[in-house]
Chain A
Amino acid sequence: DAKTTQPPSMDCAEGRAANLPCNHSTISGNEYVYWYRQIHSQGPQYIIHGLKNNETNEMASLIITEDRKSSTLILPHATLRDTAVYYCISRATYNTDKLIFGTGTRLQVFP
């Protein structure tokens, strides 16, 4: 599975959009990009995933560049409850057991 690179930490003002980048320059054509987040003292929570096209659900939007070497998770209106560690993970469809987490981005939303 491709290695992903994320900034260790980011800040965002409440009500503003939080844009979390992820670099996955070695991603292959059959690898999905997944985003999970982990709020303090809880287990990771699934947010969204995509392969080639941009995706949106009730939690967030995922923008994947045309060359698929990077992506951005967008929380359109961040709240204090969005403070968490966000993990960007690439995962091959043929090796679906290996959900390999990095160290993620610690997002701090401030009032």
Chain B
Amino acid sequence: EAGVVQSPRYKIIEKKQPVAFWCNPISGHNTLYWYRQNLGQGPELLIRYENEEAVDDSQLPKDRFSAERLKGVDSTLKIQPAELGDSAVYLCASSLDSSGANVLTFGAGSRLTVL
């Protein structure tokens, strides 16, 4: 079974440029998460989807970040325009649902460097 697939693995851009990350969760997983991980820190939740609905985006910087999960499967996270402080690893995770003793499966992440 394929795990959570993310692309690109690495992206280098100049500040003020746009960037997008794509995530394909495990088949059948209804809940999808985007996390951001700064160097030396643990991952921090940006947004959580239940199917196509964003049910928790309280930590998403909405002035420059956006996300979508149109058909309740794949998801895209966009940053426009990027700032130097956005350099981080962006992790996507999925789970069957968000109830009970839920286990998240993470992708390998997309490492963003903003110059």
Contacts and interface: CB of A to CB of B under 8 A. Distances in A.
A9 to B, nearest CB: 12
Contacts of B98: 96-97
B104 A46 contact: yes
Interface string A43-63: 111100101000000000000
B42 A93 contact: no
B56 interface: yes
Contact of B109 (A43, A51, A100): A43
Interface in B27-59: 33, 40-45, 48, 55-56
B101 A49 contact: yes
Nearest to A49: B101
Contact of A103 (B40, B48, B93): B40
A93 B102 CA distance: 9
A16 interface: no
B12 interface: no
Given A96-B98, A98-B45, A101-B44, A46 B103 contact: yes
Contacts of B99: 93, 96
Nearest to A45: B106
A41 B108 contact: yes
Contacts of A46: 103-105
A64 to B, nearest CB: 14
Contacts of A13: none
A43 B103 contact: no
A101 B104 CA distance: 13
A43 B44 contact: no
Given A43-B4, A44-B106, A45-B106, A102 B42 contact: yes
Interface of A: 32, 41-46, 49, 51, 87, 93, 96-104
In the A-B complex, the 8 residue pairs with the smallest Cβ-Cβ separation, listed nearest first, are A101-B42, A43-B106, A96-B98, A97-B48, A46-B103, A44-B106, A101-B43, A97-B56
